[in-house]
A and B are shown apart, each in its own frame.
Chain A
Amino acid sequence: MKRVWVDSDKCLGCKTCELQCAVERGSVSKMLVEAVKEDPKPVARVGVFGPSGSSFPLQCRHCQDAMCLKVCPAGAMQRDTEKGNIAANQDKCRGCWMCVMACPFGCITPSTEYKVALKCDACMHMEEPACVASCPTGALVYGDESSYSKVLTARRGSIAVMAASLTEGKPSGIVSIELLREDR
């Protein structure tokens, strides 16, 4: 499955990805000059956080054993059968916030105005995710696992965030998500 991978060494903390995501995926107008005036304010599905010097853009990891998917009681959280990415269907969302409570990465934003869950859908229906396209330093890479290993070998010391999958004989879901700090 294709995901957005992060090379944290390249992240300057400039938040361009956040801005682009909010404009392209969160705003009504899809234009920066208009978007900044919108009320409610457009919400980005990626967030750049962490202390300056080690900032880190984080968006949904599209986990294999996705907690958000399991806990949704409305059938709103769905995995795309072809691409494997997970998206929240806003028509079905009841704003029960189970997914917000369950995502161990804090990648779901509850929209206080519309009472629906907002999350990254990896811009599945676009050529390239908005955040990746906008990053001026190439800290965000879109591709499958192999393209990520390339990033890793190119630059030791990067932090990867991913979720372990459900494997036979191992504890399941509710506690199984391992936070992996790779390559440190």
Chain B
Amino acid sequence: MHIIIGQGAAGTAAANLLRQMAPLTPVTIITGEQDYFYSRIDLPDIIAGKYEPSASVLQQAEDFVNLGIDCRMGEMVEAISPGDKTVSLKSGKVLRYGKLLLATGSSSVLPAIPGIGAKGVYSLWTMAQARDIAAAAGTAKSVVVVGAGLIGLKTALALAARGLKVTLVEKMASIMPRQLDSEGSGLLAEKVRSCGVEIITGSAMEEIEVSDGAVKGVKVAGRTMPADMVIMALGVRPNTELAAAAGLAVGKGITVNEFQQTSDQDIFAAGDCAEAVDNLSGSQTIQATWPVAVEQGSVAAYNMAGYKTLFGGSVAMNSVEIAGIPLVSVGDVIGQPGDDIFIDRRNGTYRKIVMRGKIARGVICLGDIRQAGVIGGLVLRQMEIENVEKLVSPFFRYADLIAV
């Protein structure tokens, strides 16, 4: 029997593929959550009231049954013992596996600061958390969102759309520091502000002020901002505890080879919990994105079913629409000394390509993202390019690539 721990993007992709590749081997997928397989990317829209939670479900219980997958929701795996090839569930059950996939994903980072355990402090990773935030937003008046990454920004905008007074606090000098340079970030911040979100950058949150066990305010740079709700969006960390306790090699995330195999040959890992080679730096990183989770889950499934398949590595990339602005960011968007920077600005759109010699290292497309996949693909494959001036123009098309 194949066992998969975690029913997120990586785990579900693997389960579905295993049914196709090895239909005779039973597949069991175990998850601590209760909400089937859903898209986390929809959670801010659910908070905003744009969709019902059910609209983000991608695979229901009966879909798993129809595919012949034994799906166990609301069950936590407590331990893995690679020696006798079993996993132990919190309920006391012990299951034996032939091959095991760890697709345990990540959890929100919560710093150990005063007040973090108070009522009214939330983070957003699961549907259950989204429901709680949506419910609390019904009575709350002002909220402080800590962290201006993708999740923080989207949550801030969702709460502003519901009429709350929203303040977004970011430690770094600009918003979305991982995906944007300061110019791109400035353009975006302007739009975010016009949606009613106050942004404070370059300031770290110091403590959460509490009265009667509930949030009263947040202290930032010595100043207290009143708030009856706080969203912690400082980023995520991989869920590696199970792997570490079982004696598997763990670095930033669970260590895997190019077949998504851990240090135990019968145990695989994929998605946000696993490390991957970054094609730009050559070092191990965790991209923590949906596409990489699906890809790694699929690669793991092929290998578990006995079809040798390599994961080709990845680069940091993300696409998103924030405050009505579509944006795509791929690779190293800042660049190193000596890199050539190509920029195209025109009414509200911003395009930047970072080149090292003839190789593209990073791309930002903001406002106009057409053809972003073509340029992003060049970063991904580290192909040599002539004629870079053309590349950065909004009139560039794939045909220009093959015509040169």
Please determine whether chains A and B interact with each other in the same assembly: yes
Q: Which residue of B lies closest to A101 (CB)?
A: B319
Q: Which residue of B lies closest to A168 (CB)?
A: B307
Q: Which residue of A lies closest to B380 (CB)?
A: A175
Could you say which of A49, A108, A181 contacts B399, with CB atoms under 8 Å apart? A49
Could you say which of B318, B321, B380 contacts A174, with CB atoms under 8 Å apart? B380
Given A101-B318, A173-B312, 11 new contacts (CB under 8 A)? A51-B403, A56-B399, A73-B39, A97-B321, A102-B376, A104-B377, A106-B370, A106-B372, A170-B309, A171-B310, A175-B314
Bound: A104/B376 CA distance, A: 8
A143 at the interface (CB under 8 A from B): no
Q: Which residues of A contact B369 (CB under 8 A)?
A: 97, 100-101, 110
Q: Is there an interface contact between A96 and B41, defined as CB atoms closer than 8 Å?
A: yes
Q: Which residue of B lies closest to A97 (CB)?
A: B319
A74 at the interface (CB under 8 A from B): yes
CB A179 to nearest CB in B, in angstroms, measures: 8
B67 at the interface (CB under 8 A from A): no
A26 at the interface (CB under 8 A from B): no
Bound: A176/B370 CA distance, A: 22
Q: Is there an interface contact between A169 and B403, defined as CB atoms closer than 8 Å?
A: no
- The interface size of chain B toward A, counting residues with CB under 8 Å, comes to 49
- 25 A-B residue pairs with CB within 8 Å: A50-B403, A51-B403, A55-B399, A56-B399, A58-B398, A70-B291, A94-B41, A94-B42, A96-B320, A96-B321, A97-B326, A100-B369, A101-B328, A101-B369, A101-B372, A104-B374, A105-B374, A106-B372, A106-B373, A107-B398, A115-B321, A161-B402, A172-B302, A175-B381, A179-B401
Q: Is there an interface contact between A102 and B373, defined as CB atoms closer than 8 Å?
A: yes
* Chain A interfacial positions (CB closer than 8 Å to B): 47, 49-51, 54-56, 58, 67, 70-71, 73-75, 94-110, 112, 115, 159, 161, 166, 168-177, 179, 181
Known: A49-B398, A54-B403, A174-B291. A100 touches B312 (CB 8 A): no
Bound: A109/B371 CA distance, A: 8
Which residues in chain B, 385-404, are within 8 Å of chain A measured between CB atoms? 397-403
Could you say which of B39, B42, B45, B279 contacts A175, with CB atoms under 8 Å apart? B279
Going nearest first, the 6 A-B pairs with the smallest beta carbon separation are A171-B312, A175-B312, A50-B399, A49-B397, A104-B377, A49-B399
Q: Which residues of A contact B381 (CB under 8 A)?
A: 175
Q: Is there an interface contact between A94 and B295, defined as CB atoms closer than 8 Å?
A: no
Q: Which residues of A contact B309 (CB under 8 A)?
A: 166, 168-170, 172
CB B365 to nearest CB in A, in angstroms, measures: 9
Q: Which residues of A contact B18 (CB under 8 A)?
A: none
Could you say which of A70, A97, A108, A175 contacts B320, with CB atoms under 8 Å apart? A97
Provide the B306-326 mask, 1 if CB < 8 A to any CB of A, else 0.
011111111001111100001
Known: A50-B397, A161-B402. A168 touches B308 (CB 8 A): yes
Q: Is there an interface contact between A96 and B310, defined as CB atoms closer than 8 Å?
A: no
B290 at the interface (CB under 8 A from A): yes
Could you say which of B291, B326, B380 contacts A71, with CB atoms under 8 Å apart? B291
Q: Is there an interface contact between B373 and A104, defined as CB atoms closer than 8 Å?
A: yes
Known: A50-B403, A101-B328, A171-B311. A106 touches B319 (CB 8 A): no
Bound: A100/B369 CA distance, A: 8
CB A75 to nearest CB in B, in angstroms, measures: 5
